[in-house]
Every structure is written in structure tokens, then in C-alpha cells.
Structure 1
Amino acid sequence: MVRKSKTPNYIKIAVDIAHRITNNEFVEGQKITGRTTLGSIYNVSPETIRRSVALLKDMNVITIHEKSGLIINSKNDAKNFLNKFKANSDFASINNDTYNLISERKKLDSKIEQNIDSIIQFATQLRNVGTIIPFESIVEKNSIAVGKSIGELSFWHNTKATIIGVKKNNEIFLSPGPYFTIQEGDILVYVGEDEVLKNVDNYIKTFDK
């Protein structure tokens, strides 16, 4: 959530009066309207005006006379007040911008962490998939596998591969049992470590004499 900075009305009014003094709308020694009239000019409550003039009084910009109203003390003090207010406003702005940047950085860090998690998860999935990508080998004419069952071939013992299917005449037979007979042209579908491809090819390309 972005933090919004809002200047209170009593400060805005004090700043406006100080601006009028520096612009010579009010001159040093001049009496300006009392708090009740100022309230109607700025359309705010008497309490807001009281806080405004108290702020100006504390900075020696004006003097408050209960019976005669408000007296302008010093144009220089009005300038000092505005400079101080500007410095405070700049600080508040920088502080607010910094808060927003920190908030945005947290969002960015969170998004980066999510992306890293996704990358790790995706890489893990790829690695896992890589271990189960099936290999395929075709049984050629006169191969030692022709006419023999998977059990007779002791396929895993000789190749360290596990047959998960056999493609035969555009059909695929999944999870064939030990009595499934292999024929010429069959395509063996199997899984295992990378070296099993070479093991299987070497084994089924052993030809009967």
C-alpha cells in the first residue's frame, strides 16, 4: 500500500498567510483580521485558525493581540517560516518516496523469489522427466530377440532396461508381461539410465547363427 502524505489545513493556511506577507499583501506592522474573520475567509473552523496563527506566532511572523487582532511582525521571519516549511515538505516527500521505493522493492524481491522458485520447480520437473523419457529400438531380422518372450530374453538382466511397451503393426502393447513374444519389426519401448540405449542395441543386434 502506498503511503500518502497530506498537509493539514492549519499548516496550509499558515503558509498562505506567510506567502501574502512575503508578497507584500500584508506589510510589517499591519493589523490583519482576527481569527473569526480569517475562519470565514478560509472557510475552516476557529480551532483551525487558532492553530495556524499559533504556528506563525511561534515563528515570530505575527504577534497576537486579543483586542486588536493580529499584527505582522517580520517579512524575514515569514520567509524563514516558508523555507523551513519547504525543507520539511521536501523531507516528507523524500521520506514518502523512499517508503514507496522500499515497498516496490519488496514487491520486486517477492516476484524474483517466485520466479526463482518456478525455475527450480521447472528444472526439477525437467530432470525428473529426463529420467523417464523412453527409448526405442527396432528388432531387426535374425535378431536374437525374434521369436523369444521377454522372460526368455532375461531383458533387464542383460540390458538393465525395463520394457514398458512394444509397438507392433501400428499398435502399442503397454506393460507386456514376461510371456510376450517379440517378432521381427517390433519396436521395443523401454526406460532406464542413458547407457541402456547402447546396451539394448548391442543385445538385440546379436544375431542367431
Structure 2
Amino acid sequence: MKRKYSTPKYLKIALDIAYRIHNDDLKEGSKVSGRSTLGSNYNVSPETIRRSIALLKDMNVVKVTEKSGILILSKKQAYQFIQNFKMKDSILKLKEETDNLILQKKSIEENIEENIKSIIEYSSQFRSIGLIHTFELKISEDSPIIGDTIAGTRFWQNTKATILGIKRNNELIISPGPHLDFRENDIILFVGADGVLKSVENFINA
């Protein structure tokens, strides 16, 4: 499920007031309606208006006094408030997009793992009917690839074999990343076309 960022009501109202000040609908030195009236105008509670005005007050856009109410202080600060929001909004939208991409990546990785598990589980059956060739090879103690990574050895480029997993100490590492290092006694599970078994065998025991 995608995560959706939405601007809170009190911030939308603060922005609307800031834009009105910036556009000279509300003049510097003038007063605006009290919180209750603003609440009615925007159809929100007085508490929401209080939070909106507090944001503008913190940026010195308005001044709030008990007797005088809400006084417009600065058109310049209203513009700055708008720019600050735009920057923050852009960052939040980028974060939202990144979070969604991470969720998609996680979902894809989970699907890949499930598929690889299925391939491993049914490998003997697939091999017998010629749909796919799956193999296992153990890395010997004198193998030249020990200590190097999958990417560092250029495993696929040198063997044309795709690694499905690595069996290590009774644990199966599904779909290992390019930075996983090979270790003695690792068992490599891989797939490939005819001749790939000999190719991998020669490569890891060169």
C-alpha cells in the first residue's frame, strides 16, 4: 500500500492567509478577524485556527495580542513562510516517493525469493523434464574465489551461470547480492544452459 502525504488543515489555512498577505488582500498593519470568526470562515475549529496563527506568529508574519487580536506584520515574512513551505513540501514528497519505492523494492525482492525457493524445491523435477538446469557445487578449500565477492569475480560474465542461493553452515542465503563473499565449503546453487556446470566447475577450481 502506498504511503500518502497530505498537508494538514491548519497548515493549509496558514498558507492561505500568507498568500493573501503576499497578494495584498491583507495589508501590513491591518487586523484580521478573531479566531472564532476565522474558524467559521474556514469551517474549522478555533483550535485549528490557533495552530495556523501560531505558525504565522513564529515566522513574524502576524502578531497576536489579547485585546487587539491578530495584526498583520510583514508581507516579506509571509513570502518567506510560503517559500519555506514549498521547500519542506518538496522534501516530504521526495520522502514519500522514496518510501513507496522502498515498499515496491521489498515486495519485488520477496517475490523473487519465493520464486527462487520454488525453483530450488522443484529443481530435480524441472531437470528431469528439461525445463531448466539447476546445479550445486561446493567451494573447495583451495578455490581461488574464496574471499572475493560475486561482483568481484564477475561470476556471471565468466560462467554464464545465475546464482540462486548459497548454502552456508546449514543456512540457505536466497538470491545473494553482488557484495556477498565466497567462503570455503559454501555450496553454490545456480542455473544455466547446457555446459554451465563444467564452466562453473572450472572457474571455482581454477
TM-score range for the pair, normalised by the shorter chain length: 0.5 to 0.7
Does residue 47 (structure 1) correspond to residue 47 (structure 2)? The answer is yes
Letter in 1 for 2:21: I
Letter in 1 for 2:123: A
Query: TM-score with structure 1 length normalisation?
Result: 0.58
Structure 1 segments of 4+ aligned residues over 6 angstroms from their partners: none
SS at match of 1:117: helix
Does residue 15 (structure 1) correspond to residue 9 (structure 2)? The answer is no
Partner of residue 127, structure 1: 127
CA deviation after TM superposition for structure 1 residue 86, in Å = 1.1
For each residue in 1:1-60, what CA deviation from the matched residue of structure 2 results, as whole angstroms up to 9, or x when unmatched? Answer: 322222221111101100111111111111111111101100111111111111100000
CA deviation after TM superposition for structure 1 residue 129, in Å = 5.7
SS at match of 1:71: strand
Letter in 2 for 1:99: D
Partner of residue 100, structure 2: 100
Alignment of 1:40-79 (within 5 A): 40-79=40-79
Distance across 1 between alignment mates of 2:127 and 2:31: 84
CA deviation after TM superposition for structure 1 residue 66, in Å = 1.7
Q: Could you tell which deviates more after superposition, 116-125 or 33-42?
A: 116-125
Query: TM-score with structure 2 length normalisation?
Result: 0.59
Partner of residue 90, structure 2: 90
Partner of residue 115, structure 1: 115
Distance across 2 between alignment mates of 1:77 and 1:127: 72
Distance across 1 between alignment mates of 2:77 and 2:126: 72
C-alpha distance 126-36 of structure 1, shift in aligned 2 (>3 A): closer
Distance across 1 between alignment mates of 2:17 and 2:126: 70
For each residue in 1:137-170, what CA deviation from the matched residue of structure 2 results, as whole angstroms up to 9, or x when unmatched? Answer: xxxxxxxxxxxxxxxxxxxxxxxxxxxxxxxxxx
Choose 1 or 2 for highest CA Rg.
1
Distance across 1 between alignment mates of 2:127 and 2:15: 67
Q: Could you tell which deviates more after superposition, 59-68 or 99-108?
A: 59-68
Counting aligned pairs with the same residue, the percent is: 53
Distance across 2 between alignment mates of 1:56 and 1:108: 44
For each residue in 1:107-145, what CA deviation from the matched residue of structure 2 results, as whole angstroms up to 9, or x when unmatched? Answer: 111111222223333432133568xxxxxxxxxxxxxxx
